[in-house]
Structure 1
Amino acid sequence: MTEKTPIIELRNLTKIYQDGVEFRALDDACLRIEKGEFVSIVGPSGSGKSTLMHLIGLLDTPSSGTLLIDEQDVTEMSDKERSEMRNRMLGFIFQYHHLLPDFTALENVMMPLLIAGTGKKEAKEVAEKLLTEVGLKDRMDHKPGELSGGQNQRVAVARALSGSPAIVLGDEPTGNLDTKTGDMIYELLRKLNREHDQTFIVVTHNEDLAGKADRIIRLVDGKIISSA
């Protein structure tokens, strides 16, 4: 059987910070993630989870090693090329929803599309479809202050998916929610992962939620100790 080409591949990826003392935030990491996988990243504080996410999200550059996204070596790209790939291929969901408070849910989801040059009518149609998918059909005209924490995070999920990214990165997307609401958001992400065949990579401290992923990546002291 022919081996699949991964959508993300790390080859001996290392990130070193210098502040008087050398600190290896990520140390010689090797990893392959397939298209459509739902992967969770776990580990104690300071283990390198955020560093790994920032590198995959093209928000930071490695000190050494190679990072391939969609078979392209992003470590050889210019800042402009990295930015273009990030806007085209990646969606982000953060612990705090970071919605614009003066805009409605619909407008918040439309915003990235309008910035990318999508026409207003098309952006509105895409945003309405996504908000309906995440269960907010009747809340589109509400502003963040009129929505619950879980509802705001659903808006953030819809916003992350608005550009149809191949890869969705979640940095503790349920960390600011109560257990019940966090479970609901995680189940929503799994549902969207299956229906859209997008690759989801989610950092979480919650072992129960991590166990629902296709695979768990465990980090300790900047090293990937398991990826089964």
Structure 2
Amino acid sequence: MEIELIIFDFDGVLVDSEYIAAQILAQQFTKYGVDISLPTTLNRYVGISYSRLHQWVSDEIGSHSATDFLKETENLTIDAHQQKLRATDHIKPTLKKIQQQTCIATNSPAEILQHKINITKMDDFFSQEKIFHGSMVKNPKPAPDLFLHAASAHKIQANKCLVIEDSVIGVHAAKSANMTVLGYTGASHCLNNQVHEADLQKAGAHHIFNDMRELQSIIEKLENE
């Protein structure tokens, strides 16, 4: 396989943020009288676009309260990020070793994404033109549009892109874009790794790994296939 561009999802791949956000979301649901467990919240939340999150919240508490709910949740999450958010273990040394072009493609809203990038100093590795978020396309993940937009911006064919994803939604998007995708299960939101691995494999992930130190060798093996 010829790999010219490696596309990283952001939350749960480059930064360990999904568990933080899902905890707060579950607490908010409880505050608003909705009984949803943390594992259920994680299962539904990981990889979701903002529009789908808004619809989910509206279905649970009513559309009249959804905007306030999400604004409160966003503010609480930003506060939590300031205290707890970290880059994924071993990701920065791994990024330094990668020879191919790299970029980010995420459903995370632009303003919140930038906040997380600033905290984790991911801007040391990704300039603004290397960051693609869901609002840049009409249909974010699980549609292929965002990945295809990132590839097009680099003038690289989809079949020469490798995607790193932690969610079933993201894997579906990459497969729909005709891209090879790896499933990453090393972040803290993967409460049951075997189940999560099976879900990613079923969705079409080419390979599953849980340690970013493995990524370079996986890339090299793919290039020799």
TM-score, scaled relative to structure 1: 0.29
Structure number with higher helix proportion: 2
Structure number with higher strand proportion: 1
TM-score, scaled relative to structure 2: 0.29
